[in-house]
Each structure stands twice: as structure tokens, then as C-alpha cells.
Structure 1
Amino acid sequence: MSERNVKVILLDLGGVVLTNGWDREARRRAVETFELEGDDFHERHRLVQDLFDTGRLELEEYLDQVVFHRGRPFSREDFRAFMRTQSQAHEEMITLIHDLKSHYRLRVAALSNESRELARHRVETFHLHAFVDVFVISGFVGLKKPDPAIYRLALDLLQVPAEAAVYLEDRETFVETARELGLDGIHHTGFESTMKALEERGLGLLHGVDAPY
């Protein structure tokens, strides 16, 4: 692949630089940990997921509808704490993005489907402000991938054409949408393959930079 004049890295958070925050596997663990009624819990989540992910349903309202619609032997804080602990850092990827941003003077934008409260927790806990310039997160902007409008919003906020950006994403469907809009989408399946794909685009890895937290 020929090198591009890359000015911006767009990246998903969950599945790229962090684990997913509240995905199917995390919810399955919640069912087991808190002995929830699995079918009912998953159906209630499904019915409000888009509202939750786009900031129209706050965390406490989500908990009212999905978990605490009946009495529970555990507290809201117990459940909120469990939700927060599902997030972990992919340190190699954070180091890589931080390194590339610094060396090539790139701007970095997060383009992610996340609820408002969990996104704020993740931004603060993992010090994402250290390497992310703009947060285009569904819970903040009221749009959700794969809606093309959220990709266009990210480019508008950064004031760059699609051709000047690469996009790192672990869900292939979202990569396909990005490519249809002219973005150079990289399907992230692991650190080594993504590092190689970036090198092919003229963004070689520099060694010796520590993660920014």
C-alpha cells in the first residue's frame, strides 16, 4: 500500500485501546455475579440500549429499567462498581498511539459507541486526554456507529478530509462504513497486525515510549 499524507488517527476505544466497556460478555458476567434473571436482563438491555448509548438515558435511569425494577440483595453502587471494573487498558496500543501522535504530530480522535457515564469513567481512569484530542462518543453527541453522520462529525470537528485520516476499529462492519465514506479503515484484530498496517501507511513504530499513565 502506498503511503498517505496522514494527519489524523481516528480510533475506536473499546476493542482497540481499551477492552469493551459494557458488551455482551460483560453483561453475561453481570448475570452470573449478581444472579440476575438472564433472559429478562438481556431483553431489558436490548430495549433501551440505543437510548443508553446515545445519552438519552442516563446511567441511573438505565439501572432503574434494566436491573432495579425489582428489589435486589445488592446496592446500586455494587452494580456500578462492577460495570466500571469491566474496563481495562490495552497498554501496547495506548503506547503505540501516544508514540505515533508525538513523533508525527498527528491529531487523535476517539470515535466510539459508549454511554456517557461509562465513557467519562474510562477517559478519566485511563488518562485518555493524554493522547486523544477530540472525543466523538455516542453518549456525548447523540449519534451512533454505523450512522455515517458520526464519522462525518468527527471529520468536521477535526477539519480534515477523509483522505487524511486512518481509522482503527475492531468491528469489521464499522470499518466497511468508514471505507464507504473515504476513510482508510484498518480492521484491528491485534497489536502486531495493526502496527504493520500503520507502518505500511508511513507511520512506523518508535520504541521506548511508556504508556501515558
Structure 2
Amino acid sequence: MISIPSVAGESPQNSASFPVLLHRTVGPQQSNRSGELRLAEITTLFWDIGGVILTNGWDRSSRKEAAAAFHLDWEEFQDRHDLSFPAFDSGQITLNEYLDRTLFYRSRSFTREEFVAFMFAQSKEYPETRAILDKVSRSGNYFVGAINNEPFELNEYRIEAFDLRRNFLVFFSSCYVRSRKPEETIYRIALEVTQRPAEKCLFIDDRPLNLESPRRLGMNTIQHQNADQLRSELGKFGVEV
């Protein structure tokens, strides 16, 4: 059984133009004393991690750098990655199994440990966005959770290395829930486990496709571009930063 604390008193402890940045759900609305319609108050914020708080964990750019640094055949490596990564990302195979499939099916001039160290070193923090997250989570006014795609070992490393537990009460990561964005399942699990009304939830992600399923479920969304834009759009939802 998973127990999720209430918001009250809890502290868990980059500029192109896009057509849709902010989406407010139509549906559950309330009236104020003047009779004007207003949206339900946001009580819950779900954040993506890679591309928002941190750099992506193991994206195409990082793999290109790895291919150059370790003198890999890019096409061969990429082909094996494409076939193996969905299972790796959803926790169905381990990091060692992923490396066996993509690299160590034959002898190499480098060690497994050297390559893993390179993978982990690709993760960096976006300090301006992290400062926004810190302020939101420290306020104690919101339930703050993560919904992210990440393989198990990379996810565990990033949570520990960047002290993500100080911000997030719960991690709905693809490697834990065995479902990946943009599929609806991962968002539905987040709503069902936390028992939060969708119309009071706000999800932040940098990829437009990842915002479509949560909107269908009734969640509010923001497409993240940069810290200033995020701060502005959070304000439109009444989230003070």
C-alpha cells in the first residue's frame, strides 16, 4: 500500500515560439462571489525532470558524444540502442543488460565502468528552473511529484546526485511504473495513486506530445521552454514563484 501525505503542512523537503504553451482544462469550474467562472485551484504540480530540471539523461546528443569519445560505429550503436531502449527505459532490462546488447556483445578497448561513468556525467542541472522548483516545494502549498521517463540506474543516480527528494514527494518514473510518456497509463497511475482531482493538477513538460495524454485526462499543462517563461505561466495558474 502506498501512502501519500496531504499538502497541508508538508514540505518534501531554451526561446523558440510554440503555438500552445499553456493549457487550462475546460470542465470542472467554480463560481466566485460575483458569479464569474474560474478554474479549480491548483493543489498539485507534476514535473518532468529531463529537459526541465536537469538535462536529458541519455539522449541522442549524449549518445553521439559517446560514439565519438569511445570510437563506436554510430549506426550500429544507434540501431542496437533503438531496439533496446524501450525495455531499458521502462525497467524491463537492467543497465548491464542494455550495455550487453548495445556494446559488450563483443570485446571493447574500454571498460563497462568507464562507459557508465560517461553516461552518468551527461546529467547537469538547470539552476534557474531548479530554483523555481525549490521555491514551489518549500512553500508547502502544493503536492509536488515527478512524472518522468528514465531507466532505473540513471534515475536512481540522478535522484541521489541532485537531491531530487528535497523537492518531490513521489516519483512516477517509467522504470518504476513500467509505462512511458506519452502513453496515458503513466499519468493515470499518478492520478490514481495520489488521489488528486485532475482539474487541480498541473503538469510541466518540455515536449508537446507528452502534454496530450494528461490534457485528455483533465489535467492542466505547461510546455516548458525556459525559466522566465515557466515562472510567468505558473503565475497564470495562481502558483506563486
Q: What TM-score do the two structures reach when normalised by structure 1?
A: 0.93
Q: CA deviation at 1:76?
A: 0.5
Farther-moved stretch of structure 1 (122-131 vs 178-187): 178-187
- Alignment coverage as a number of residue pairs: 205
What is the deviation of 1:184?
0.6
Matches within 5 A, 1:61-80: 61-80=97-116
**Percent identity of equivalent pairs:** 37
| Distance across 2 between alignment mates of 1:3 and 1:192 | 23
Question: Cα distance, 1:70 vs. partner?
Answer: 1.1
- 1:170 maps to 206
Paired with 1:172 and 1:104, the residues of 2 have a C-alpha distance of: 28
Q: Is the 8 A contact 1:19 1:88 kept in 2?
A: yes
- The alignment's C-alpha RMSD in Å is 1.2
Shift of 1:102: 2.2
Name the counterpart of 2:50: 14
Counterpart code for 1:79: F
- Structure 2 CA distance, aligned partners of 1:71 and 1:46? 21
Partner in structure 2 of residue 188 of structure 1: 224
1:44-78, Cα deviation, whole Å (9 max, x unpaired): 00001110001011000000000111111111010
Q: Hey, which of these two has a bigger chunk of helix by percent?
A: 1
Residues 139-150 of structure 1: pairs in structure 2 closer than 5 A: 139-150=175-186
Equivalence for 1:82: 118
Q: Partners of 1:83 and 1:33 in 2: how far apart?
A: 11
Match of 1:211 in 2: none
On the 8 A contact 2:89/2:151 being kept in 1, the answer is yes
Max Rg structure: 2
How many angstroms apart in 2 are the aligned matches of 1:163 and 1:57?
Answer: 35
Query: Is 1:5–1:164's contact at 8 Å kept on the other side of the alignment?
Result: yes
Quick one: distance in 2 between partners of 1:88 and 1:78? Answer: 18
1:159 aligns with 2:195: yes
Of 58, 68, 92, the residue aligned with 2:94 is 58
How far 1:110 moved relative to its partner? 0.7
Q: Which amino acid aligns with 1:73?
A: S
Determine helix, strand or coil for the equivalent of 2:104. Answer: coil
